[in-house]
Amino acid sequence: MFGLLIAAALTLATGVINQAEAQIAVKGEMVYTISGDPIENGVVLIRDGNIEEVGPANSLSIPSGYEVHEAKVVTPGLIDSRSVVGLAGYYNEDHDQDQLETTHAVQPELRALDSYNSREYLVGFLRSEGMTTIHTGHGPGAVISGQTMIVKTTGNTVEDAMLNPAKMLAVTLGPGIRGTFNTPGTRAKAVAMLRQELIRAQEYAKKRADGDLNGKDLKMEALADLLDGEMAALVSAHTAHDIVTALRVQKEFGFEMILEGASEAYLVMDEIKEAGVTVVIHPKMIRPFGEAKNSSMETAGKLVEAGIPVVFQSGYEGYVPKTRVALFEAAIAAANGLDHADALYSLTLGAAKLLNIDDRVGSLESGKDADLVLFNGDPFEYTTVAETVIINGEIFNREE
């Protein structure tokens, strides 16, 4: 029995159940292109891993030799805008928990790509639920815990899966740091440590630009990249006063910032909108205690109504099975004030634009990567499943 379970886990994590042909036609009773209006009785043609053409079945004929797949609903591949999957693993043991290094509170030099396991069971699990792209990496819990990256949920190695090896620096403000490190012990100390490192990075960046460096400092290299706009800061802050502190630091140093978590964002919407930042909203089913005690299932709808961009995440909490599914989180938001179309946009093109990968994924358009999900019903209904997932033209069929 144990052997069968292990075999099933390996198949889900690593295996293509059905190898795609070079030419594929996907027919959907409803096709959500996201970049345009939904198409009833639509067709998506795929050739050599890319979308060839999209249109209504009555005006787009399927060429001879194309392998045909049918579904009730077809969407672009879904995007998880904040995860630790691939660093945090299924077994919840020391050997597969690399999302937080606890030897120091400030470690921007840590690269997610050096820990990511593309064969991790949870990668396959997310893929089976329609998540084709994930923004993953070091988790919250340190002033700067490390770098994040963007990968597809396929491939035998991190290089096979890679879209961007160094996208953001994971920053945490608030009480989530306490108890893990000897310092900081308070909010003021955490912000002082962050500001001091950024001041050093300003000096380092100037020397780097002037060609005056005697050698590379990996920590300063990462922070200088942040200040030079080559990376962004993904700042985890839940309470209103921690959110405002994050906005204050961002304004002082001028780096690109994305808020993550933001349980009390609805209390400071004017400040967030003025700063022009996107919110990677806390998982809607987050456990409401501690700094997230004032979280709300209605927050996403309120922020979008106020004109603040919102995307969804699986996030991280220290429990088995170590991941959520961003699709389910979006469904809860859609049931609590967020428009259905806005929820689907935030899972696809909205997330792709935030991550600067919308030239490849996020919508069904000619020339983009052939990443599609074939559902047997409304994606936000709890009885619906993703029967087939296509990534780069490669077909993964769901096993019952």
E strand or H helix at 201: helix 187-210
Question: 130 and 72 share a domain?
Answer: no
How many folded domains does the chain comprise? 2
Nearest 5°: phi and psi at 26? -110, 120
Query: Is the peptide bond preceding residue 56 cis, with omega within 30 degrees of 0?
Result: no
Cα(319)–Cα(157) distance, rounded to whole angstroms?
26
pTM of the predicted model as reported, rounded to 2 decimal places: 0.94
Question: 100 and 210 share a domain?
Answer: yes
Question: 320 and 382 share a domain?
Answer: no
Look up the CATH number of the domain holding residue 316: 3.20.20.140
The pLDDT tens digits of the residues spanning 114-126 come to 999 999 999 999 9
Q: What is the CA radius of gyration of the chain?
A: 21
Question: 372 and 302 share a domain?
Answer: no
Asked if residue 168 lies in contact with residue 81, where contact means CB atoms within 8 angstroms, the answer is no
Question: 175 and 124 share a domain?
Answer: yes
Average pLDDT over residues 203-232: 97
Question: 272 and 370 share a domain?
Answer: no
Question: 32 and 120 share a domain?
Answer: no
Question: 194 and 220 share a domain?
Answer: yes
Look up the CATH number of the domain holding residue 69: 2.30.40.10
Residue 34 has pLDDT above 60, yes or no: yes
- Structure confidence at residue 180 as a pLDDT band (50, 70, 90): confident
Question: 65 and 126 share a domain?
Answer: no
Q: Cβ neighbours of residue 146 under 8 Å, at least 6 residues apart?
A: 101, 107, 108, 109, 110, 111, 112, 137, 138, 169, 170
Parent domain of 290: 78-354
Cα(192)–Cα(202) distance, rounded to whole angstroms?
15
- Structure confidence at residue 14 as a pLDDT band (50, 70, 90): very low
Residue 4 has pLDDT above 70, yes or no: no
19-28, 184-193, 291-300, range with the lowest pLDDT:
19-28
Question: 198 and 118 share a domain?
Answer: yes
The pLDDT tens digits of the residues spanning 367-396 come to 999 999 999 999 999 999 999 999 999 999
Question: 52 and 122 share a domain?
Answer: no
The pLDDT tens digits of the residues spanning 244-270 come to 999 999 999 999 999 999 999 999 999
Question: 101 and 61 share a domain?
Answer: no
Residue 165 has pLDDT above 70, yes or no: yes
CA distances, 390 to each of 121, 345, 394 (Å) = 18, 19, 5
- Percent share of the chain, pLDDT over 70: 93
The whole-number pLDDT of residue 9 equals 47
The pLDDT tens digits of the residues spanning 300-334 come to 999 999 999 999 999 887 766 579 999 999 999 99
Residues forming a β-bridge with 389: 373, 396
Place of tokens 């993904």: 234
3-state secondary structure of 231: coil
Average pLDDT, the chain: 93
